[in-house]
Structure 1
Amino acid sequence: MDDLMPHIALVTTSYPTTHDGSEAAGSFVADFAQALTAYAQVTVIAPSLSAEIEQHKSLTLQRFKVPRLPLSLLKPYNPRDWLAIIKTLRAGFIALEQVAQQSQINHIFALWALPSGYWAKSIGDTYNIPYSTWALGSDIWSLGKVPVIKTLLKKVLKASHTNFADGYLLKQSVESISGRNCHFLPSTRALNISKQKQLSTNPPPYRLAFLGRWHPNKGTDLLVESLKTLSDTDWQRIEEIRICGGGPLEETIKSACATLQGHPIVLQGYLNKTEAIELFLWADYVLIPSRIESIPVVFSDAMKCQCPIVSMPVGDLPRLVTEYQVGVLAAEVSAQAFGSAISQILQQSPQTFVAGLEQAADDFSLEHSVETLLTLTSMS
């Protein structure tokens, strides 16, 4: 590694411990960290159930021990989680401080604003190291609603070198809390696509795919309910629908699909990255029925695999679908409206969306995100 390269400490609560596709956020963080190594020395500080140091090519991964994973399930308003939260906060602080003491760190990049931004600010203040934050919706729209935590969040965002957010609406929320500019930085991952898909110019039937957690926020229940609203003519235009993933709605999804026997619906579990690529290269359209969303990783995956989308009108998806012309939006967040959007897109050729897909794939590339970070944090 070139000693003249800047040394970035990337502290995060999202880093994969498995590779089965169940840790979407962790997947793109790992890809982002690896992409950074082309321009900087990178040390990742991340939680695990055991403390250990790993070397991944030109990247050092220092894991600190926490009581439980995933950390997203720890709730500050639940007294039963308080001890685990305290232990986690202390472990992350100690791990980042050890890196700061042992290495010459030029910049700390916190994924996400909390608790990673808290660690970054604490160590940055002590060792005179600038830090930047990358906010997720859970930072701002969930934790940011708790008064004491919102005060801490504001301090973290106001004192940082640069703030980023992985959505346009989220960017506005960060600016409102901090009183400072925030920059859009999309969360995206590296996809090794061996061959470019040729969008179908053929008439239907078409192939449809869903990939994600089977969770109310992701609207998987709305998806299966929407399929019940499709007409016989709609079904004649569908070759197959694959619903991939897993989660708390598993029984609901399986039960609903059982009532749709006779229709070409296939349920699958979580997919690793290679399997996800294969799914999107197979599909003509990707389905995003989320109730709550900023910009899901599945959006950028679909763009890179040249797959138009059918989406609920939530978060930044209306802006993206309209701006890039890459699919069809449901009129509202409901099963009936999503079914109507599916019916609408089945009457269009995927080739209709080719220009927008190519532009979106470029704008949501991992290389573009890395270059944005380095430029705005003055490390390019």
Structure 2
Amino acid sequence: MKFLFISPRYSGGIGGHAAMLAHQLENFGHSVTKMETPHIPIKNLKNPSFAILGALKGIMNRQNYDIVHAFNIPSGFAMHYSKGQKKILSAHGVYSDQVKVLHSSTTSKIATSAESRVFKWADKLTTDSQITKKEYKKKFNLDLEYLPSPIDTEMFKKIPEVKKITNQVAYVGRDSFEKGIDILKSIESKINGNVVYCVDKPWDETMKILKSSRLLVVPSRMESLPTVIKEAFYLKIPVIASSVGGIPELVTHNETGILTESENPQLLLKNINELLIDESLQQKLSSNAYDFVIKHFTWKKILPKYLNFYENLLKN
């Protein structure tokens, strides 16, 4: 099969998933072109500029593809104008809800309008979380295919063995409002340990820091299905995370991690300090979480589902 993948970038959450999927498909002998589109790196212009320039790039691209797969709503414009037998749009979280939290009411209205329009351009819609599937069914009466985003366990072979650092707490994610980094910083001085923020570090360096930590904190206000939680599970690092979005699909309280209320810094502080001194619970959570991610979120488990999905789509 000949694929065109469209994503604002090919690292981090959505982009990292697109890059890993492309790599797996190429290993199976398929051809994957990753569209690279520039955009204006300014808050209110980033997505609109990416959508416009992506659409122009799609119009100018004379190549024909079996499948054009766009990995977020702004990518849908390039998807629409690219030549493909079948077109897929993936949603990672509810886009209009995310924009509503982060931008003005005018921008939010534009995003909601664009969202409903872009969905109509795709032959199939997918998502990596059950909560996103449920929310879009409720919001637009849309049926999205659930296709989880796994981790590539082979990539972890290049992460060296490291010594655990006493009471080190890791944060991995963007420095942005929806990720709740400000919530963690507001209690940092009261944490009985040292917080290391991995915001713009390379993946290898981030994983090395995570591996040396006692626990990972995910204080998000909004999420789909965070890759970093799956990575922490694989590295056997206990996780404390907000009970938002698709996180409860990964973190079962007191079994694979600790769930805490979003925007409740005092409860988050209590959970962090209690887990830091409870080595027995740390071991229980990390062991259960490792078993969970190996069972459900590796490419060995998930790639056949993608291949069947693509093949069946081309047949119809």
TM-score range, shorter chain: 0.7 to 0.9
Give the direction of change, closer, same or farther, for the CA distance of 1:90–1:317 in structure 2 (3 Å limit): closer
Q: Partner amino acid for 2:197?
A: C
Give the direction of change, closer, same or farther, for the CA distance of 1:73–1:187 in structure 2 (3 Å limit): farther
Give the direction of change, closer, same or farther, for the CA distance of 1:376–1:180 in structure 2 (3 Å limit): farther
Give the direction of change, closer, same or farther, for the CA distance of 1:142–1:321 in structure 2 (3 Å limit): closer
CA RMSD of aligned residues (A): 3.4
* 1:278 paired residue number: 208
Q: Partner amino acid for 1:31?
A: M
* 2:78 paired residue number: 119
* 2:178 paired residue number: 217
- Alignment pair present for 1:74 and 2:45: yes
Give the direction of change, closer, same or farther, for the CA distance of 1:375–1:175 in structure 2 (3 Å limit): farther
- Alignment pair present for 1:173 and 2:135: yes
User: Is the CA contact 1:207–1:284 (under 8 Å) kept in the aligned structure 2?
Assistant: yes
Q: Distance in 1 between matches of 2:71 and 2:254?
A: 28
Runs of at least 5 residues in structure 1 that lack an aligned partner in the other structure: 1-5, 17-22, 49-65, 247-269
Q: Partner amino acid for 2:128?
A: D
Instruction: Look up the SS of the partner of 2:168 in the other structure.
Output: strand
- Alignment pair present for 1:30 and 2:19: yes
Give the direction of change, closer, same or farther, for the CA distance of 1:195–1:37 in structure 2 (3 Å limit): closer
* 2:265 paired residue number: 335
* 2:95 paired residue number: 139
User: Is the CA contact 2:88–2:123 (under 8 Å) kept in the aligned structure 1?
Assistant: yes
Q: Deviations over 1:128-161 (max 9, x none)?
A: x111111123634246985565455334434533
Instruction: Look up the SS of the partner of 1:106 in the other structure.
Output: strand
Instruction: Look up the SS of the partner of 2:4 in the other structure.
Output: strand
User: Is the CA contact 1:244–1:271 (under 8 Å) kept in the aligned structure 2?
Assistant: no
* 2:31 paired residue number: 41
* 1:227 paired residue number: 188
* 2:196 paired residue number: 243
Q: Distance in 2 between matches of 1:290 and 1:224?
A: 13
Give the direction of change, closer, same or farther, for the CA distance of 1:306–1:136 in structure 2 (3 Å limit): same
Give the direction of change, closer, same or farther, for the CA distance of 1:330–1:7 in structure 2 (3 Å limit): same
Instruction: Look up the SS of the partner of 2:62 in the other structure.
Output: helix
Instruction: Look up the SS of the partner of 2:37 in the other structure.
Output: strand
Q: Distance in 2 between matches of 1:196 and 1:13?
A: 27
User: Is the CA contact 2:56–2:78 (under 8 Å) kept in the aligned structure 1?
Assistant: no
Give the direction of change, closer, same or farther, for the CA distance of 1:374–1:73 in structure 2 (3 Å limit): farther
Larger Rg: 1 or 2?
A: 1
Q: How much identity, in percent, do the aligned residues show? A: 19
Instruction: Look up the SS of the partner of 2:157 in the other structure.
Output: coil
Runs of at least 5 residues in structure 2 that lack an aligned partner in the other structure: 101-106
